Amino acid sequence: MSNKLKSAEVIHKYIKAFRCPHCESPFEVVDLKSLMCRNNHTFDLAKQGYVNLMSRPTKSHYHKELFEARKKIMMESDLYTLLHENLAKAIKEYSEHSHSPLFIFDAGCGEGSHLQKILDQCSEIPLQGIGLDISKDGIVMAAKNYKEPIWLVGDLAKSPIADQSIHVILNILSPSNYKEFKRILVSNGLVIKVVPGPNYLIELREALFGDTKKGMAKNEETEELFKKHFDLKDVISLSYTKELTPIEFKNLVQMSPLSWNLTKSDMDVLLKRDCSEITIDLKILIGRNH
């Protein structure tokens, strides 16, 4: 069965969980080829099996090479293993009190490896993953590599998800829209937001800027805002340093938005540095919808 047909069948099965991002009316699947709403807004399934729900292409700094480097780091190194273990644990604990299948929605999923890793670790629970990102390059890659989740190109601020259809939202190092998150979550649904701590990739920031504050979000404000919208259940801090091989370090540099403005020669100098240690410093905020 083709990827397109397989996705069309899964979307058809769970069609009530989706809605048109333009007019908010329900979708139906037409001829196992497209999604169409009551007002005839129509979105075709691509051959890789994803659906693009954006009305026009958006420019994104996140491009194919960055996502390829990101996938290599996530799938071939163990840099993010502890993160995946902690996220899977939170989902498993939540699943004990909830109905199945659980809908796990990764808002700003990039190329999809985090979602796939987490689903793999929760294989004993019935789950349906849905990954959404505004970058088409990211979603094309996700759909090519990971066949089980539903992959959507869309805007998390106007998501194509029906009210109260999602049990768990994952939001990993991506922007949030709490109003939307609350709308699509079931009551008592789980929201898991991962934010960088002050030492996240600090070696890279030191090498690039000589300034470790540059490029850092204000963590306290993020946590306060999260608490305004959700019942904060847990905050987990993960901080550790790993030794990377030169190839892993190259992938890390290429996957990071921190290196966006580097010239080719700056990049070459950076890659020749003897810097193989890297710090992961992440905060996991776990909340419940009221």
- Residue 184 interacts with ligand SAM (CB under 6 A)? no
CB 146, min distance to ligand SAM, A: 13
- Residue 173 interacts with ligand SAM (CB under 6 A)? yes
CB 159, min distance to ligand SAM, A: 8
Query: Which region among 20-28, 61-69, 90-98, 174-182 touches Zn ion (by CB under 5 A)?
Result: 20-28
List C-alpha distances in Å: 26 to 91, 160, 183, 184, 208.
28, 10, 15, 14, 48
- Residue 135 interface partner, choices Zn ion, ligand SAM, none, CB cut-off 5-8 Å depending on type: ligand SAM
**Alpha helices, H only, the chain:** 3-13, 64-76, 81-95, 113-121, 136-145, 178-184, 202-209, 219-229, 246-255, 264-272
Decide the pairing of beta strands 185-196 and 166-172.
Answer: parallel
| Distance of alpha carbon 230 from alpha carbon 113, whole angstroms | 26
CB 110, min distance to ligand SAM, A: 3
- Which residue, 261 or 265, is less far from ligand SAM as judged by CB? 261
CB 40, min distance to Zn ion, A: 7
User: Quick one: 220 exposed, middle or buried, by C-beta within 10 A (0-12, 13-18, 19+)?
Assistant: exposed
- Mask of contacts with ligand SAM, 125-164, x by CB under 6 A? -------xxxx--x----------------xxx-------
| Distance of alpha carbon 119 from alpha carbon 115, whole angstroms | 6
Q: How many residues does this entry show for the chain?
A: 290
What residues make contact with ligand SAM under the rule CB under 6 A?
60, 62, 70, 108-110, 114, 132-135, 138, 155-157, 172-175
